[in-house]
Chain A
Amino acid sequence: MRDAQQLLTWVPRLRRYARALAGNRDDADDLVQDTLVRAWSKAALWRGVADMRAWLFGIMHNLHVDGARRPRLVTVALDAGVPEAPLAPAQDEGLALRDLQAALDRLPAEQKEVLLLVALEDMAYADVARTLGIPIGTVMSRLSRGRERLRAMVEAREAPQRLQVVRSRTP
């Protein structure tokens, strides 16, 4: 089925975005799964959709906003028998990346969404506005605040480490 093929091609990118948004694989795949189910329930609308990506990511955004409002029992899919692949390399660089992830998790959701759509999806600002249903001015202010906040958090984490290095070198 061509529609199914078309949908399937978006799945890896939906998963990448969801993983960054949700912070772990199970919640992310719940979100992806719910998004796909919702997309199929609106399949009749597909022909009228000019920008499939904005449409799909928009569905995910709405579900994420809904889901974030009500706490759920944490569940784990059993077909996820494969251990979660470490996303980052294990060396120094990996450490920095984990810091980034921790900082990302502390970002307000609305800033995180804008930041991720721009950074990971390379979305044009106008498309971000359409996807999230917000004015472009709001996109820009959230992007600016999100980036600055993330930078501040990452730099604050790096600072004490540098100090330790300096001290260990002094006799």
Chain B
Amino acid sequence: MTPIPPSPPVTEDELHAHVDGQLPAERQREVEAWLAGRPEEARRVAAYRAQKRELHALFDPVLDEPLPQRVRQAARAPVPWYARRLAAGLVLALLGGAAGWGLRGAVDGAVHGPGVPGAGLSEASSGFAARAAVAHAVYSADARRPVEVDAAHEEQLVAWLSKRMASPMHAPRLQALGYALEGGRLLPGGRGPVAQFMYRDAAAGRLTLYVSNELGDAGAGRLATPNAETAFRFAREGAVNVFYWVDGPFGYALAGDAGRETLARVGEEVYRQLAERP
């Protein structure tokens, strides 16, 4: 039997490289021999190996999950997923009329703006959802004056809001879903005015639709392609549920105590109605 040849001492880095199979084969054998006489280090190495195995056991199932649609879209599209929310100016046209088309043209012109911050929209839109939730909490709790202009003067309300927002506004009809228009008001948003429509169901539960056209930064500079899919998002702020989506410069948020499913159903109806307007 030949004596074990003297080899350089094993460093901490080499122990890890041994665990990870990142040592040359010869050194790998030397480290093994070194470990044979050191139970404490050998235990440590075994624990690190177990960590790796368990991390794989814990997270490898993610590899086989079906991809969520938003992720699949982001991977495939040569345009940021949210730019497609512009929905080919369809929604803009019905909402913003000529102004919407004008903006669409401007956006179309800017393909692949450099250095687009990916997190920008999520931040802008989640701030938007939070403001909608606060506005809902403040005004829906107001028993005497929940709105500035009531539904009896809907035409004036819509004309006034359209003028102040500088975009044509519409109050979606939600009677079929059990919500009657109560009225609306103008509110300060992050940078400009925001419109709030209030609805009430038979049990006096209130729902507000918060419309902002100041998410322009988030939508600007991105390419628009014809695609009618919209990313609906859900947020919860205290006791208020918010269902919201962004269409180019426009942000919509439905806020209420109603459950997520109800809000989603109403949200889709609002979206549908806005999309159907000529």
B-binding residues in A (CB < 8 A): 1, 3-4, 7-8, 11-13, 15-16, 19-20, 29-30, 32-38, 40-41, 43-44, 63, 66-67, 70, 72-80, 85, 87-88, 93, 96-97, 100-101, 104, 115-116, 118-120, 122, 124-125, 140, 143-144, 147-148, 150-151, 154-155
Q: Is the interface of A mostly helix, strand, loop or mixed?
A: helix
Q: How many chain B residues touch A (Cβ–Cβ < 8 Å)?
A: 62
Let me know if B118 and A63 touch, CB within 8 A: yes
Interface contact B16-A75, CB-CB below 8 Å:
no
Question: Are B71 and A87 in contact, with the CB atoms below 8 A?
Answer: no
Q: Which residue of the partner chain, among B51, B68, B127, B235, contacts A147 with CB atoms under 8 Å?
A: B51
Closest A-B pairs by Cβ, 4 of them: A34-B118, A36-B74, A73-B126, A37-B118
B61 close to A87 (CB less than 8 A): yes
Can you list 29 A-B contacts (CB < 8 A)? A1-B76, A4-B75, A15-B71, A32-B71, A32-B74, A33-B70, A34-B119, A37-B82, A38-B116, A40-B80, A41-B112, A72-B122, A73-B237, A74-B236, A75-B233, A76-B233, A76-B234, A76-B235, A76-B236, A78-B233, A78-B243, A79-B69, A79-B231, A97-B58, A125-B22, A143-B16, A144-B12, A147-B48, A147-B51
A29 touches B22 (CB 8 A): no
Cβ contact within 8 Å between B51 and A100: yes
- The listed residue with most A CB atoms (<10 A of its CB), out of B16, B118, B129, B130, is B118
Contact A75–B118 (Cβ < 8 Å)? no
Which residues of the other chain, A, contact B52 by a CB distance below 8 angstroms? 119
A37's contact among B74, B232, B264, by CB below 8 Å, is which?
B74
Smallest CB–CB gap between B199 and chain A, Å?
A: 20
User: CB-CB < 8 A to A33: which residues of B?
Assistant: 70-71, 74, 81, 118
Q: Mark B56-67, 1 if CB is under 8 A from A, else 0.
A: 111111111101
Residues of B close to A93: CB separation below 8 A? 57
| A80 interface neighbour in B61, B68, B74, B118, Cβ under 8 Å | B68
Q: Which residues of A contact B62 (CB under 8 A)?
A: 12, 15-16, 19, 87
Contact A41 B58 (CB under 8 A): no
CA distance A13 to B70 in the complex (A): 16
Residue B40 CB within 8 A of the other chain: no
* Interface residues in chain B, defined as those with a beta carbon under 8 Å from any beta carbon in chain A: 12-13, 16-17, 20, 22, 44, 47-48, 51-52, 54-65, 67-72, 74-82, 112-119, 122-123, 126-127, 129-130, 231-237, 243, 260, 264
